[in-house]
A = this chain, B = another copy of it.
Amino acid sequence: MKKDQVTITDLARELNVSPSTVSRALNNSPFISVERKKVILELAKKMNYSPNQLALSLLNKRTKILGVVVPEITSYYFSTAINGIQDKVGSSGYKLMISQSNESFEEEIRLMEAMALVRVDGFLISPSSNTLNYDHFEKIKDSGFPLVIFDRDCVGLEADKVVVDDYSGAFQAVEYLIQTGCHRIAHITGSANLSTTQHRRKGYLDALQKNNYPILEDLMVIGDDSSSESGVACMQKLLDLEQIPDAVFCYNDAIAIGAMSVIRERGIEIPDQISLVGFDDEPYSSYFKPSLTSVWQPIYDLGLLSAKILLDNLEIEKDNPNYRFEVLKPELVIRESSRKIV
């Protein structure tokens, strides 16, 4: 029972003028007499006219809709990024079409294709952990859609990208552990494919190396994913070692929380026996007991900046692509789960 919307033609018929005249009145064209303009505007208001965006989009070839695909909406991390995107985009008149890929490569493609059909004006994508092939991104680019990749890097893909310096965050965290006297520092990783996983691991390894610490295979456990459950499983492995670690640097807070519960169960003291460090600095992390030392990420800003870049691209319609690669700095937040510098 959708009521028909008032159109420009309705107004025209009512006043016995042509639709063009009405259009000119509504668009502040100079080629129209002031009196007529006044009459038309009044009627438009009275009849509650609003232009049909569909017709406009068809004409202008732009929808003022941006497509956003994230691996999952239900994570604090990505929803905060979306928050940043929304805040940036809000005043610009652009709307967001948001979807989650559930870390599925196929779903990511499917979603992007659907959005391309709707003719979104551009894409903001955080690739799934199973996205190892970038053909669909290339295709989107070839079709002329502006594309910004955020959070997770696609090495080799030429596109605007905004990421967090995971390497530096991890390096900081592990150096801090070293400075506080930890000797056997373990690492629980996230999904193997992710650029973030790789960078954090590299930061971990390099910090060890720089400080002449041996790299012990046993102490690096590869998680199935980035969940608390994976943290539980991995931490159990670590505690089953003959010689357990005295510090664990976790890929993220969820894993760290899982790890914390296992450590506690076994009656091991945090941080006296094991220092624990997470990544992401989720809101609850400060409320845990002991509160969690973690690497804070400017994830809201990540969304903000990604959206800004996309909007910039939409404005200038550049021909010679000069891709931006923005790296935001994370910060170590020291709390109770790690020992203090002596």
Contacts and interface: CB of A to CB of B under 8 A. Distances in A.
Interface of A: 1-3, 5, 50-55, 57-58, 61, 63, 65, 72-76, 79-80, 82-83, 86, 95-100, 114-115, 117-119, 142-145, 228, 257-258, 260-261, 264, 283-284, 287-289, 317-319
A91 B261 CA distance: 38
9 contacts: A1-B317, A1-B319, A73-B79, A73-B83, A95-B115, A96-B99, A260-B287, A261-B287, A261-B289
Contacts of A115: 95
Contacts of A260: 287
Q: Which of A55, A79, A143, A264 has the most CB of B within 10 A?
A: A79
Contacts of A65: 97, 118
Given A50-B117, A95-B97, A98-B96, A145 B73 contact: no
Contacts of A79: 73-75, 79
A75 B3 CA distance: 35
Contacts of A57: 54
Contacts of A50: 117
Nearest to A98: B98
